[in-house]
Amino acid sequence: MEQGKANGISMSPSLQSSCVSGVIPKSSQVHKSHSRQFWKAGDYQVDSAEKSLPVGGIEHIRIHPKFLHSNATSHKWALGAIAELLDNALDEVSNGATFVKIDALNVDSVGDGKSPMLLFQDNGGGMNPDSLRHCMSFGYSVKSKKANTIGQYGNGFKTSTMRLGADVIVFSRTPAKEARVATCSIGLLSYTFLRDTDRQDIIVPMVDFEVQSNGLQKLLRSHINDWDKNMETIKRWSPFSTESELLEQLKFIGQQGTRIIVYNLWENDEGELELDFHMDSHDIQLRGVNKDAGKIMQSDHLPYSKHFLSYRYSLRSYASILYLRLPSLFKIILRGVEVRHHCLVNEMMIVEKHTYKPLKSTGEMLSDGKAIDESQHILDMKAVVTLGFVKDAKEHPNIQGFNVYHKNRLIKPFWQVWNSSGSHGRGIIGVLEANFVEPAHDKQGFERTSVLARLEARLLKMQKDYWFSHCHKVGYYNHYVNKNGRPSLIGPSIPKNKSNLHRQNGLVLKAFPRSSRSRTRRLPAKKFQKDACRLTHGESAQQLREMPRSISCTEVQDGGIIVAENTCKDLAIGDAQQQKAHPSNSRERYEFLKTEFRRLQQDLFGAQKQMEAALEERNTLKRELEDERSHGMESDTELRKKLKEAVMRVKKLEAENMRLKSSQ
């Protein structure tokens, strides 16, 4: 590797001799006023007259500092950026990593002029000087060649750190290995430094040390003056103003590992930090639109739905479901407390499993025209979809979606494929690992391909089939049942347990509402009575069956009630059998059945009205309860805000008191 560049970024052993010339440039002595809001941080003016200096006589590819910002905009969600750094730590399990630690520094020192910083630390294999330069460069990745790693593009470190804050400093230590000695390295990627010095190239100052028995010794890649200039720049633009403070950070690592500190964290439109460190001392949360007061309130009494309701704003909740499987010896420690790995399948009931195969054979072509490699493992070409109702489904929460993992990493949390205007699909969640679809660069979605479209269509069908088979088990009314009593998508029918409206002497009457546009032939009641009475004069049931179609009964219309086809024939046969025993009661028997049928129809109509009234009363009470809870949540939020302001005020007064005492 050339000393002056690495994949388009100037690694600058001497800061390319244009950053400093013995001293820090005058323009960098005072920090310029730039926006602290991420989405506005790319709007600043630079001097376009500066020329690029060649490296070793050869022009190198220039990457403007604004690219750091535009590249980071791929992360629309700050917690998604944090997940990228967790992925890097998990990939280090193969190098001996047993934990990754996320913490907040200087949270209680705001009154002393120190701004909060975000810390990520793992005890993996660390990065040697070359590896750290690869990490700081764009597009360099060896992970894409490894089957078991999550990272692919070699871009996650830059996008994630720049999405969280304007600046990041990296400390890394590698142990002695084979012919290599143990080393320590420090690198600084500072958007503030690049903006304030009007840079048109991305300059990354770095220093390296060699670990020896008598301590750390400077590891030179060029001249000693270049090493000193890089160190001065790091001290000037990092939170650590002395070399001893920098070396102290290396001591926190131990024998091996990496320590990443993101500082100058971005703010929102109200001038507050995007990340909230005060709401929960053991969590890192997002402020703003990701927090919904109603969902926070629901999560208290819907424990099995908590992750759906809180993953958008709570890092602890999101990190607990971020990986489908977590190595047994690996821990995620958030602000001093371990994040307990959570399996969403454990929150399901009435569980079903389906196997989905996107391709019929390994030789089938993908949407991009590339054939599947015959050597690719067959397990990657199928997905086991586990779905069921969340255990809180009987409370009818508005929760649904499939959690789609790719190579063990959650890409689409609670992906809603069924967008129903009503309650259809509510309460159903699913889990699957789909290694045959490609994730987007921010790992918060998938590339829109025909493979994904087919998967989405199949998941939609699975959810609909599951819903119409089991929705009644959690209190939903299924309006669509086929004639066998099984759920159907064809249309409305009568449930099996309600289809027998009247059963007596082996006769079954089924009632259906008549459509005003029905074309079914009607038979006058007098003609039906006449034909039925013919059985009293010795005609057998067999003779009745052999009668022409014109005298058979298709249906009987009486008061808006239709007797189903063939029912009249069965009725006549049954009556004929009774007429042989009681020939004088045929007319009375018919009138009795007709009266009983009307009574049952009226009972059914009344029961339906009572059920509708009960449902309306339940919905009214539910709305009143939700309004009451929402009002209570608003009051609680206001009290929390006032308490927070009071605490901050007390801290300021204490700091002022200490200052006055020290001045006396």
- Residue 349: the pLDDT is 94
Confidence of residue 636 (pLDDT cuts 50, 70, 90): confident
Could you give the 3-state DSSP secondary structure of residue 653? helix
Window from 2-6, 334-338, 464-468 with minimum mean pLDDT: 2-6
Average confidence score pLDDT of the chain:
76
User: What integer pLDDT is reported at residue 112 of this predicted model?
Assistant: 58
- Indicate the SS3 state at residue 74: coil
pLDDT tens by residue, 581-606: 444 568 888 888 888 888 888 888 88
Closest CA to 64 of 200, 215, 249, 250: 200
Q: In the chain, helix, strand, coil percent, each to 5?
A: 40, 20, 40
pLDDT for the residue numbered 242: 92
Average pLDDT, integer, range 365-383: 55
261-289 in b/e form (b: 16+ CB < 10 A) is: bbbbbbbbeeeebbbbbeeeeebbbbbee
Residue 137 confidence (pLDDT) above 60: yes
Q: Look at residue 35 in the predicted model and tell me its pLDDT.
A: 59
- More confident: 350 or 557: 350
pLDDT at residue 592 in the model = 85
CA distance 389 to 391: 6
Q: For residues 397-419, give the mean pLDDT.
A: 93
Model pLDDT, residue 557: 41
Comparing 109-118, 206-215, 331-340, 514-523, the range with the smallest average pLDDT is 514-523
In the chain, residues under CATH classification 3.30.230 are 347-361+378-492
> What DSSP character marks residue 37?
B
Mapped onto helix, strand or coil, the DSSP state of residue 66 is helix
All CATH 3.30.565 domain ranges of the chain, comma separated, are 64-96+104-266
Instruction: Tell me the average pLDDT across 9-35.
Output: 45
- Amino acid of residue 461: K
The stretch 71-88 carries a mean pLDDT of 87
pLDDT of residue 146: 54
Tokens encoding 36: 């602290």
Contacts of residue 190, Cβ cutoff 8 Å, sequence gap at least 6: 166, 167, 168, 237, 238
Task: Centre a 10 Å sphere on the Cβ of residue 380 and count the other Cβ atoms it contains.
Answer: 15
Backbone angles phi, psi at 552, to 5 degrees: -80, 155
Among 115-129, 524-538, 631-645, which is the least confidently predicted range?
Answer: 524-538
Q: What is the structure's pLDDT at 660?
A: 85
Of 2-6, 131-135, 431-435, give the range with the top mean pLDDT: 431-435
State the greatest distance between any 2 C-alpha atoms of the chain, in Å, as a whole number. Answer: 126
Q: What is the domain class of 347-361+378-492 according to CATH?
A: alpha beta
Distance CA 650, CA 664 (A): 21
pLDDT over threshold 70, residue 157: yes
Please state the rounded mean pLDDT for residues 171-186: 91
DSSP letter at 381?
G
Q: What is the reported pLDDT for 568?
A: 46
* pLDDT tens, position by position, 295-319: 777 777 788 888 888 899 999 999 9
Chain segment 272-295, per-residue pLDDT in tens: 899 999 989 999 999 876 676 667
Which segment, 72-76, 83-87, 556-560, is predicted with the most confidence on average?
83-87
- Residue 150 pLDDT grade (very low, low, confident, very high; cuts 50, 70, 90): low
- Residue 576: what pLDDT? 53
Looking up tokens 């028997």 gives 589
> For position 555, what pLDDT does the model report?
42
| d(C-alpha 455, C-alpha 382), whole Å | 11
Transcribe 524-549 into DSSP letters: -HHHHHHHHHGGGGT--HHHHHTS-G
**Cα 144 from Cα 441, distance rounded (Å):** 13
pLDDT at position 512, please?
43
Tell me the sheet residues that pair with 285: 276, 314
Check whether 140 has a pLDDT greater than 70.
no
Give me the pLDDT at residue 32, please. Answer: 57
pLDDT value for 113: 62
Q: Among 354-358, 386-390, 452-456, 633-637, whose mean pLDDT is lowest?
A: 633-637
pLDDT of residue 149: 56
Q: What is the pLDDT of residue 91?
A: 92
- Say what the pLDDT of residue 227 is: 93
Q: Is the pLDDT of residue 524 over 60?
A: no
Q: What is the mean pLDDT of residues 320-333?
A: 94
pLDDT of 410 reads 95
Measured in whole angstroms, the distance separating CA 362 from the mean position of its chain's CA atoms is: 30
pTM of the model: 0.65
pLDDT at position 639: 86
Q: Is 399 helix (H, G, I), strand (E, B) or coil?
A: coil
3-state secondary structure of 252: helix
At 443-466, the pLDDT tens digits run 888 988 899 999 999 999 999 999
CATH of 64-96+104-266, one of 2.30.29, 1.25.40, 3.30.565, 3.30.200: 3.30.565
Q: pLDDT digit string (tens) for 31-54?
A: 555 655 554 555 555 554 444 444
Residue 410's H or E segment, with its range, is strand 409-415
